[in-house]
Amino acid sequence: MTVIPPGSIIGILGAGQLGRMTALAAARLGYRVHVFAPESMDSSCGQVVAYHTQAGWHDLRALARFADDVDVITLEWENVPTYAVDFLARHVGVHPGSNVLSVAQDRVAEKSFANKLGIGTAPFRAVRTLDELKQAVVEIGLPAILKSTRMGYDGKGQMRLNPGDDLSGAFDAIGSDEAILEGFVDFEREISVITARRADGTMLSYLPVENRHKSGILDTTIVPAGITPEIAAEAVRVAELLAAELHVVGLLAVEMFVTRDGRVLVNEMAPRPHNSGHWTIDFAETSQFEQLVRAICGLPLGAVGVTAPCVMTNLIGDDIDGWQAMLAEPGARLHLYGKGEARPGRKMGHVTRPA
């Protein structure tokens, strides 16, 4: 296993807040960061890094120059085109690789992968035409969730279907001819686990946390999740099995449902830092962002213990207007992402508080 020592340059694909927080963690360990993204230097990540390349994913010359300038590459967004990742990997190590992204970028592929490992998911069917949607409804039933297979996040590219709904209109509204119909899960709560894995197979997982959403966007993460030790152990087992079988180097975040009869079902996975892990900056022995740096650079993984129970709340849109009160609140830890315009649904920052 190659060790990338402090003083080296870490490349990050993508320029959002996950890259920003990774760059800040890397700097604390003595690394410099070079970000590659279509966004400008005034992006959330671009504001805090040493170097920035603004170019499209198709620009092979820019990608080659970027690869020559860095010692290892990671990403903060799993929808980076796999052809760009494969091109970079011919020059320098990229973690995670396109083998991981090809699964994580496609909802049908990720659920099929989980099922092949004996891991439960909601029932699902791939849907490419209206006729296939109608047949899927017959097989799965309603209510169900219709989603685009790619690029959907924070509630985008998906809708709930109920008996009597217009299937044709719903299929058109998704805006994709590659969709998935997922059976509705009557779950007790949603949880997630973040697992770190090095190239030598060493893994450590943070404890499961509970996630609550508003309008399809994560609103609150509660640490720890209010589940039994047996369910927690199963959730960690599932996340570590997925990370090992995917050969992830870096982080794998796995979102799961806990059903009312105690089963753990995988919903989605992301091979990068995750919104539900932001609490680790202030209330874990090692933050998920530092852990990512450690994993991709071949350093010892940091301890993952919780220093105190806590609650992380996202600041969405004009929630950011309360920043002064949050700064004055005893015990609150405010994190702002350097974004200019507070649009509805846009993540502007987060605040973490002791529970």
Partners of 220 in beta bridges:
212, 313
Annotated binding-site residue? 257: no
Task: Tell me how far CA of residue 315 lies from CA of 162, 221, 339, in angstroms.
Answer: 31, 12, 12
Annotated binding-site residue? 267: yes
Tell me how far apart the alpha carbons of residues 326 and 338 are, in angstroms, rounded to a whole number.
16
Q: Are strands 187-197 and 209-214 parallel, antiparallel or unpaired?
A: antiparallel
Q: What is the radius of gyration, based on Cα positions, of the chain? A: 20
134, 123, 187: which is closest to 161 by C-alpha?
A: 134
Annotated binding-site residue? 111: no
Annotated binding-site residue? 183: yes
Annotated binding-site residue? 49: no
Annotated binding-site residue? 93: no
Annotated binding-site residue? 154: yes
Structure tokens at 26: 């890397």
Find out whether 37 and 355 touch, Cβ atoms under 8 Å: no
Annotated binding-site residue? 70: no
Structure tokens at 250: 């870096």
Annotated binding-site residue? 319: no
Task: Tell me how far CA of residue 268 lies from CA of 8, 9, 42, 212, in angstroms.
Answer: 33, 31, 30, 15
For 206, what's the count of Cα atoms within 13 Å in the CB-facing half-sphere? 36
Annotated binding-site residue? 158: yes
Annotated binding-site residue? 185: yes
Binding residues for ATP: 107, 147, 152-158, 182-185, 190, 213, 267-268
Binding residues: 107, 147, 152-158, 182-185, 190, 213, 267-268
